[in-house]
Structure 1
Amino acid sequence: MTLQSAYDEITLALGAHPVRLRPSLRTASQFVREEGFTDLPRRIADFHLGTIRDLISVAATDRQEASAFLDQIDATPLKIVADAVTAPMLALVAGFVPASDKEDTKPAKTGNSMPWPAVYKELYRKATGWLGWTPEQAWNATPTEINEAFAGHIEQLKAIHGSSDDNQPKHDPRQEVSPGEVKAGLAQLRRHTQKAAS
């Protein structure tokens, strides 16, 4: 068993038949649409064999590898299969969730949460609309890859065109003047205006 980053390909090995799995946008959206996401980690941890088999079928980068691996599952004691695939499958499912920018210190926005199909639809729109990727490139990228590419694109646009944050003063000049100073200034302005009028 080889376990890589949750946002890369993951290789499952069982006997002589490894299979490479990828948490692509296509895999995430198809599996979540068909199986749901809420109970998915629990079903994997509980070694729900139907869920495991479906996920391998959907996430495999090579259908022949997937078929050979699934045949190997049928010929192997389930305890051995569970020990070999549970942790990597949980890592694969973690890849369905776009990773947040670790350097982002802004507080999370509050409000209504989006259902997972809507999240994936939005990622697809960003990839094809904003980034100009082909549909195939968008479907094959992971949710984190799309998020990171989009964040990079926004940074590039800000660097080229500036941002509204750049135009804001670092402090509010109104905070430097006390109400008494404002009254005194207005009184002086009235006196000046009255002298000019007479």
Structure 2
Amino acid sequence: MKLAETILVEIAGEEIELRPSLRHAMRLERREGSFRQLFREINEGSLTAAVDIIEPHFFGQYLKNRVLDALPTLTPALTAYLLACAGIDPEAPANDTAGAKSGKTQTFSEYLQQLYRYGTGWLDWTPETTLDATPAEILEAYKGKLEMLKAIYGTSEKAKPVDDRPLDDKFRSLFAGIGTQKVESAA
């Protein structure tokens, strides 16, 4: 998983870095239609959607005019930004289930809230640090914390001891343990 990949857009000759932090993901998720609608609008060349994404990262004047001129070239970078805000690595293998929980579905809002809980609860980060981190950074730090806890405390999965004895010896041990004796026939 890529962590904090730099996403740059050029508007009116000025480079603007878009940092896909949890804060920005939560803000964009609250938009009408959430990320699904935002993806659709970006692919359709919506000025409003592009401005909504870029505005928190831009410190200047006349953003709408500048974005309007650059709009046709912004789609790939804005799409990459939205994917990063969602914690999705488009280059990851399709069967990669990192961070996925078994069987339980959740809304995108719940997913972002879970990331916040990971940051502030499991990782003991401040709310500010958690909101400034990207979803990929939070997920990787969370995995690291789980690995550390497993290394310190072990896991509930007990490794079964390997018994390399021949099958006859295993049966003898089993039946001897319950008081069974082998009786030879007299015939």
Q: TM-score, normalization: structure 1?
A: 0.71
Aligned to 2:133: 141
Aligned to 2:113: 121
Cα 1:158–1:19 shift into 2, 3 Å: same
Cα 1:123–1:49 shift into 2, 3 Å: same
1:109-149 per-residue CA deviation (whole Å, 9 max, x = no partner) reads: 54242101111111111101111111110000011100001
Aligned to 2:30: 33
CA distance in structure 1 between the aligned counterparts of 2:8 and 2:133, rounded to whole angstroms: 17
Cα 1:18–1:161 shift into 2, 3 Å: same
Greater helix share, structure number: 1
For the 8 Å contact 2:3–2:136, the answer to whether it is kept is no
Instruction: For residue 132 of structure 1, give the secondary structure of its aligned residue in structure 2.
Output: coil
Uncovered stretches (5+) of structure 1, i.e. residues with no partner: 193-198
CA distance in structure 1 between the aligned counterparts of 2:6 and 2:63, rounded to whole angstroms: 16
Cα 1:84–1:6 shift into 2, 3 Å: farther
CA distance in structure 1 between the aligned counterparts of 2:177 and 2:159, rounded to whole angstroms: 30
* 2:160 pairs with one of 154, 160, 169: 169
For the 8 Å contact 1:41–1:90, the answer to whether it is kept is yes
Provide the alpha-carbon RMSD of the alignment.
Answer: 3.4
Instruction: For residue 17 of structure 2, give the secondary structure of its aligned residue in structure 1.
Output: strand
Cα 1:99–1:161 shift into 2, 3 Å: farther
Cα 1:43–1:131 shift into 2, 3 Å: same
* 2:67 pairs with one of 65, 73, 85: 73
Uncovered stretches (5+) of structure 2, i.e. residues with no partner: 183-187
Q: For 1:85-164, what aligned pairs fall within 5 Å after superposition?
A: 85-99=74-88, 109-164=101-156
CA drift at 1:24: 0.5
1:28-54 per-residue CA deviation (whole Å, 9 max, x = no partner) reads: 011111231223222111111111111
Instruction: For residue 164 of structure 1, give the secondary structure of its aligned residue in structure 2.
Output: coil
CA distance in structure 2 between the aligned counterparts of 1:19 and 1:71, rounded to whole angstroms: 15
Query: Are 1:21 and 2:15 matched, yes or no?
Result: no
